[in-house]
Amino acid sequence: MRTAVLLPFLAILALLTMLPTAGAADDPLTVLAPRDKSVLQSRVVNIIVQVDTAAADGLQVKINGRRQVLPRKQLGGGHICYIDGLELSPGINRIKVIAVKNGAATGTRELTLFLRSDLSPDGQTAPDGFTAYAFHGAGNDRACTPCHRIDDATTEQNLAAPEKSPCYLCHRKLMASSVYLHGPASAWSCTSCHRFRQGTRGASNLEADSQVCANCHGDSQDLWKSMKNMHGPTAAGECTTCHDPHASDHKYILRKQTVDLCLTCHDEIASKPHVVSGFSGKGHPLRLSSDPLRPGQEFTCASCHNPHASNAPFLLIAGKGSSDNFFEFCKSCHNF
């Protein structure tokens, strides 16, 4: 009889030990979002935590062992705190969030995030067990909606005062230090590119449309599609491979300086003389401080090649000499 009673109890006990736990009962810190083993597309991430303010008066964060500089936050109120503007590196990012009280650690939470990037060997393929993550959806923002209203009306009605936008509060560091801003992002017109879908309990699901660039750049896309040759990312509709959709320190909101960006995929170009080898044994320069045909601009790969599409071979820029006669093309800059 005793054995018969113990078996159900032991089965329940075993089941409980298999359930995920947010922390021990005396742990003052719980990470609400993002979940562990998430795949992210944006280099800037916010971490949402719940803090027991009786056992913690501050937070510390380390990414891959390096402590991050955080603004001082007053922990209180609803005990929900967001750590905004953490910058990730392509690939694996091991994050440790530490609750402190009077300078001493009182609790620790760890999670691993993967930043997806086509431009980094470390960021191209997520490890097994990692899944795509988007905060606005699947109930992730339920902890926010009691105090914050997130919908089309509130995001678009404050364009004259972007600091009043509900998007600005959490995402302002996406563009805080960048030199070049994407038009809609600079105006905090987030719903120009992102669509809200009403979800459970009024929470909004923010979804990016794979064809969203065509809404504004449709004429350019139609022109490129009509040409004989298209650049791979252009043909695949993957604009964000080369362009950051929010902000960048590089012109045309490129993810890297033009030549560095091109060499990320075309690395063989840098390992041998380009185009032809002259008497010196050197090939054509890939970068110069001055472009002979564009005064005031630097010479880059895009001085000869159209980065989107062209009717000429090798995506050479049509109109520079003859698109089919390489000798004539070169004469647009060189005198023979």
247 contacts: CB under 8 Å, gap ≥ 6: 174, 175, 178, 180, 181, 182, 185, 186, 253
Q: Are 79 and 184 found together in one domain?
A: no
User: What is the pTM (predicted TM-score) of this model?
Assistant: 0.80
Does 175 fall in a domain?
Answer: yes
Q: What is the pLDDT of residue 3?
A: 46
Does 277 fall in a domain?
Answer: yes
Q: Are 43 and 64 found together in one domain?
A: yes
Q: Are 173 and 221 found together in one domain?
A: no
Query: Among the three residues 133, 166, 183, which one is the final residue of a domain in this structure?
Result: 133
Does 12 fall in a domain?
Answer: no
pLDDT tens sequence across 87-106: 999 999 999 999 998 989 99
Q: Are 117 and 163 found together in one domain?
A: no
Q: Are 204 and 235 found together in one domain?
A: no
Does 1 fall in a domain?
Answer: no
Does 14 fall in a domain?
Answer: no
Q: Are 312 and 260 found together in one domain?
A: yes
Q: What is the pLDDT of residue 172?
A: 84
Supply the range of the domain harboring residue 43. 23-133
Does 281 fall in a domain?
Answer: yes
For the chain, the domain total comes to 3
Q: In CATH, what number is assigned to the domain containing residue 111? A: 2.60.40.10
Does 144 fall in a domain?
Answer: no
Q: Are 297 and 222 found together in one domain?
A: yes
pLDDT tens sequence across 116-131: 999 999 999 999 999 9
Q: What is the pLDDT of residue 334?
A: 86
Query: Among the three residues 75, 106, 133, which one is the final residue of a domain in this structure?
Result: 133
CB 112 within 8 A of CB 118: no
Q: What is the pLDDT of residue 197?
A: 57
Query: Among the three residues 188, 208, 228, which one is the final residue of a domain in this structure?
Result: 208
Q: Are 222 and 175 found together in one domain?
A: no
Q: Are 203 and 221 found together in one domain?
A: no
Q: Are 224 and 279 found together in one domain?
A: yes
Per-residue pLDDT of the chain (336 residues; tens, 9 = 90+): 444 444 444 443 333 333 333 444 467 889 988 999 999 988 899 998 988 888 888 889 999 999 987 766 656 555 777 788 899 999 999 999 999 989 899 999 999 999 999 999 999 999 999 999 888 766 667 777 777 776 666 666 556 677 777 788 888 888 877 899 999 888 888 888 887 655 443 334 455 555 889 889 999 999 999 999 999 999 999 999 999 999 999 999 999 999 999 999 999 998 888 887 767 778 889 999 999 888 889 999 999 999 999 998 899 987 665 556 777 888 888 887
Q: How many CB atoms lie within 10 A of CB 165?
A: 22
Q: Are 119 and 35 found together in one domain?
A: yes
CB 142 within 8 A of CB 202: no
